[in-house]
Amino acid sequence: MAGQKGRFITLEGGEGAGKSTQIRLLQSALEGAGHKVLCTREPGGSPGGEDIRNLLVKGNTDWEPLTEALLNYAARHEHLQKVILPALNDGTWVICDRFADSTMAYQGYGHGMNREVIRRLHRLVVDDIAPDLTLILDMPVETGLSRAVARGDGEDRYERMGQDFHERLRQGFLEIAKKDPGRCAIIDATGDIGAVAMAIHDVVSTKLRVNL
């Protein structure tokens, strides 16, 4: 991104993959290496984005896939313009819990929405903005869902969708990573927290040339 001084890292994956825990650990490691770090999330990350998040992750609303995609990209526009880009331009490293890959995986693969429509939305809202590195935390669907249910945070609309949906979601993330190996790295999230953190730190150190 032109003028960008900070680095942009996103974490992706299915429900219960442990992204929030790993984001905190990565933030600590980067700050220990002397970097200023902002952690944020999608959908959400800005006041308007958080309002949209509540529509998407709670309750029983049966949104059409296109409606979900539009809501996600509306929140993403607010998030980019008001939070992510100003931070990057200020030299802050941004770690984001989900970004555009989640829209493609959830709506494009999980719900079977026309992926070209999602790509058009992406070009309109995001243009050429892309993470410097995307870490996709991967684990079997059953394991992730059991962890997500145990979390019990009330944001369970997607968790309540059928296992077939979550299998398509997982394959979607793996396919996204396969198509863009320069940006994406698949992390085996089935190990203990420390082992997963070490794998993440190794990838970040190698790809972004930072000592952690």
In the chain, what are the domain boundaries?
Answer: 8-208
* Structure confidence at residue 148 as a pLDDT band (50, 70, 90): low
| 150 pLDDT above the threshold of 80 | no
pLDDT at 157 over 80: no
As a whole number of angstroms, the distance between CA 155 and CA 79 comes to 20
pLDDT by residue (tens digit) across 81-140? 999 999 999 999 999 999 999 999 999 999 999 999 999 999 999 999 999 999 999 999
The count of other CB atoms within 10 Å of the CB of residue 143 is: 14
Arithmetic mean of pLDDT, 186-212: 96
**What type of residue sits at position 27?**
Q
Q: Is 123 helix (H, G, I), strand (E, B) or coil?
A: helix
For Cα atoms 100, 105, 109, give the angle at the middle one, nearest 5 degrees. 140
Would you state the CATH architecture of domain 8-208? 3-Layer(aba) Sandwich (3.40)
pTM beyond 0.85, yes or no? yes
Residue 56: its pLDDT value, please? 84
Among the ranges given (41-45, 60-64, 80-84, 157-161), the one the predictor scored with the smallest mean pLDDT? 157-161
